[in-house]
Every structure is written in structure tokens, then in C-alpha cells.
Chains A and B, each alone.
Chain A
Amino acid sequence: DGGITQSPKYLFRKEGQNVTLSCEQNLNHDAMYWYRQDPGQGLRLIYYSQIVNDFQKGDIAEGYSVSREKKESFPLTVTSAQKNPTAFYLCASSSNSALHFGNGTRLTVT
């Protein structure tokens, strides 16, 4: 089955710890994206990558980092510098027509 896999579905961390969210796709898409969803704020773009070994900041990149060493993988690290890390994180890939999303990771930082 082709798709986007995000793991884990739920993640809990203590404040001050970095945490990495996994995103893997087998759709052979060049472009991949990370969005964050907060209540009442829709989806906001964190980082995106149009091609392997290249990525750009989205609208809310502060406190996050990414890498794109392989076409299939686009992990997102939420660093301790991110002031409000608790959120629902969505990874997506695109084939130039529409974004295809994974099922998300809910991160809770206490």
C-alpha cells in the first residue's frame, strides 16, 4: 500500500528534551512537508523540502529542525527552543497536484 507513515501516533516528552518525529513515504514524491495543527489555527507550515538534501523554512520554523537525506524520509526534530511544542504534527508529500497527509503524531510536552 502506498502512503505516508508517521510514527509514533502519540509521544510524550519532558520539557527541555529534544524529540524527533518520523515521517516515511513510499509514494515516490519529491516534495515533503511538515505542518502543525493547533485548535482554532488550522494547519501551519513548519518546514518543507522540494528535493533530497534541500529544505526551506515555512511560516513557523523557529524551534524546529529537519533533514532530508533520503527521498522517502523527512524527520522533524522539535527542539527545547520551541516554546509551545504540544500540538498535532502532520507530515505530507506531494505530486504537484495535492498534498497527501499522514495520520499525524500528537506530541505532548509537560
Chain B
Amino acid sequence: DQQVKQNSPSLSVQEGRISILNCDYTNSMFDYFLWYKKYPAEGPTFLISISSIKDKNEDGRFTVFLNKSAKHLSLHIVPSQPGDSAVYFCAATAGTASKLTFGTGTRLQVTL
């Protein structure tokens, strides 16, 4: 049972445009959500997070939006840069910020 879903396995965006990565979850107990970025043969690195008491969190070019009623969150990258090309994982946790459930990832390619 996949509790965190990233339905788009890949996304291609032109440099300078907005990248929107989506994530859906089914467990209503999840209250903290994170996005990780992963390059090949490396471990994921933490990008941005959001608590369920908020609906938006912004950090530079990265913004995460949370729609609790729809059990949906999205990561916006504006403007997209070639260095953003990576696999992005959505993750969620309930009650503790440590035992995370991950989505299957979306591979973002930013083209010139």
C-alpha cells in the first residue's frame, strides 16, 4: 500500500521556467512533509519541509504548497536551473519527524 505517491515518474522543463512536482498521500495522520533531492549514486539531500499547520513554505527558489483537504502537496521551483536536474522524493511522517515514508520519486530534467 503506497501511502505517499508521486504519479509522474519524470518531468522535463526548460531553463528559467517553473517546475512543479506533485505528491499525494493517503494517511490522514501525516502531519509533516519533506522534499529531498537526489543525484545518481549519492544520498538524498533535504530540500524543504512543511508542517500541516501551514499551507505554504518558501525558501529561495523553492516553495512547497500543502492542501490538506486534498491530501496533496507540490514543490515549485522558480526559475528552474540545469543544476536542479535530479530525482525529487516527497516524504511524510506522522507524529515524529524521523520515521519517514517516501514516494517513488520524480526525475526532473531541466533543459537549456
Contacts and interface: CB of A to CB of B under 8 A. Distances in A.
B89 A43 contact: yes
Interface string A45-57: 1001010000000
Interface string B12-42: 0000000000000000000000101000011
A19 B6 CA distance: 32
Contacts of A102: 43
B100 A99 contact: yes
- Which A-B residue pairs are the 10 nearest by beta carbons? A101-B43, A42-B104, A43-B102, A94-B98, A98-B46, A42-B102, A103-B43, A101-B44, A102-B43, A103-B42
B105 A99 contact: no
A96 B98 contact: yes
19 contacts: A6-B43, A33-B99, A42-B104, A43-B102, A45-B101, A48-B98, A92-B43, A94-B97, A94-B98, A96-B97, A96-B98, A97-B97, A98-B34, A99-B36, A103-B42, A103-B43, A104-B41, A104-B43, A106-B41
A94 B42 CA distance: 18
Contacts of B101: 45
A86 to B, nearest CB: 15
Q: Which bucket holds chain B's interface residue count? A: 20 to 34
A99 B98 contact: yes
B9 interface: yes
Interface string A8-25: 010000000000000000
A76 interface: no
Q: Is the interface of B mostly helix, strand, loop or mixed?
A: loop
A102 to B, nearest CB: 5
Interface in A22-42: 31, 33, 35, 40-42
Contacts of B104: 40-42
Given A40-B104, A45-B100, A92-B43, 12 more contacts: A9-B41, A42-B89, A43-B89, A45-B101, A48-B99, A98-B34, A98-B46, A99-B36, A101-B43, A102-B43, A103-B41, A103-B42
A90 B97 contact: no
Contact of B98 (A9, A31, A35): A31
